[in-house]
Amino acid sequence: MDKRLDIKPNTINKSTLYDNFGRVHNYLRISLTDKCNLSCSYCMPSEKGLINFTKNPMSAAEIYEIAKIFVDFGVSKIRLTGGEPLLRPDCQEILESLAKLPSELCITTNGILIDKHIDTFKHLNIRSLNVSLDTLKEDRFLKITNKNHFLKVLSNIHLLLSENFHVKLNMVVMKGINDDEIFEFAKLTKDLPVHVRFIEFMPFHGNEWENGKVFSYKEIISSLEKDFELDKLDDQMHDTAKKYQVKGSKGTIAVISTISTPFCADCNRMRLTADGKMKNCLFSKGEADIIGEFRKGNDIKPMIEQCVKLKFESMGGQNINSLENRSMIQIGG
Ligand code: SAM
Ligand code: SF4
């Protein structure tokens, strides 16, 4: 049976981008920059010499024109990421142009520059932000991120909450590094309307990943069940997160289980790197040179369609223990 017929009526949209496994592709993540004001151990290669930072990133106008073509294909959600997206000097111009497109606009940020941009978010009706925070301890924040911005990030999270933004907190859980803080993060959701997402540590170029450092979905949930009564919440189609709620709490928790329980069967995501390459999977080795084609003045639609068609069934067609890929900071999570 054509898998497209399996799609529930309320989730049908007009996207015409389908891969060879019948998966609709209507979600684009755009990396605005491969630069960052933090240096997280799990994202930025420890030897910075391993990174060729892009010298010729997509311009604001190119980002808009390319995003518009994806939206014409039916993309209904765009997430800006990086590197740190809010670090880009023309970030405001990019937000304003993309907000004009008939597509939901979301941001993943490390939180440091939120106060500088909060009026723009309000003005453009961007009401939901994903903020990364891996620890609630100031000294540990410095160890993980190599920078001393813990209090700034915390105050910006509270600023968002005081202005009634929907806030998701992304915590990358690493065995022996911060897995002892799962309880404290879940406790946060009791009194604050925050949505904590525990993310399994994933392998990327230069991040010294080992299977033994992954604190898995199962381990996260069984560790939380020792202290909390958890209700399982419904997961939406295309959701990467398995959602729960601590009984009686204001917020929710969720686990993104890419390593132990991949969710590729339902994947609707595509990526554009800051240097204008399209990746059909976070773990894909192959990339399509969208910006090269665009700068030649050629029609990029066939390249986009072809890139989606070439998507592998799972994990970019690679083995998790021997991935050939960029570093996370050069992809955009
Ligand atoms: N700078 C922004 C931030 O930190 O939120 C956006 C870019 S960052 C690459 C996007 C997300 O990827 C963050 O939530 C980060 O925690 C996550 N991430 C980075 N490296 C990861 C890894 N090795 N495993 C799992 N998640 C990772
Ligand atoms: Fe920067 Fe985000 Fe990567 Fe940390 S996770 S180094 S904040 S891009």
Give the C-alpha separation, 38 to 40, whole Å.
Answer: 6
- Nearest atom within ligand 1 for CA of residue 203: 23
Ligand 1 atom 17, closest CA: 333
| CB-based contact 151:138 (threshold 8 Å) | yes
Q: What is the pLDDT of residue 50?
A: 66
Please tell me if the CB atom of residue 204 comes closer than 6 angstroms to any atom of ligand 1.
Answer: yes
Residue with tokens 């230069």: 206
**Candidate of 329, 330, 331 to mutate for ligand 2, largest count of ligand atoms within 8 Å of Cβ:** 329
Please tell me if the CB atom of residue 160 comes closer than 6 angstroms to any atom of ligand 2.
Answer: no
Per residue in 6-26, is it b (16+ CB within 10 Å) or e — as a string?
eeeeeeeeebebbbeeebbbb
Distance 16 CA to ligand 1 centre (A): 29
pTM, full prediction: 0.94
**Candidate of 130, 132, 326 to mutate for ligand 2, largest count of ligand atoms within 8 Å of Cβ:** 132
Closest listed ligand to the CA of 46: 2
Number of residues in the chain: 333
* Burial classification of residue 137, based on how many CB atoms lie within 10 Å of its CB (0-12 exposed, 13-18 middle, 19 or more buried): middle
Ligand 1 atom 10, closest CA: 333
| CB-based contact 21:41 (threshold 8 Å) | no
pLDDT tens over the chain, length 333 residues: 333 333 333 344 467 899 999 999 999 999 999 999 999 999 999 776 667 889 999 999 999 999 999 999 999 999 999 999 999 999 999 999 999 999 999 999 999 999 999 999 999 999 999 999 999 999 999 999 999 999 999 999 999 999 999 999 999 999 999 999 999 999 999 999 999 999 999 999 999 999 999 999 999 999 999 999 999 999 888 888 999 999 999 999 999 999 999 889 999 999 999 999 999 999 999 999 999 999 999 999 999 999 999 999 999 999 988 899 999 999 997
Per residue in 156-177, is it b (16+ CB within 10 Å) or e — as a string?
bbeebeeeebebbbbbbbbbeb
- Nearest atom within ligand 1 for CA of residue 331: 9
Please tell me if the CB atom of residue 43 comes closer than 6 angstroms to any atom of ligand 2.
Answer: yes
Helix axes 217-225, 182-191, angle to 10 degrees: 60
| CB-based contact 84:38 (threshold 8 Å) | yes
Please tell me if the CB atom of residue 330 comes closer than 6 angstroms to any atom of ligand 2.
Answer: no
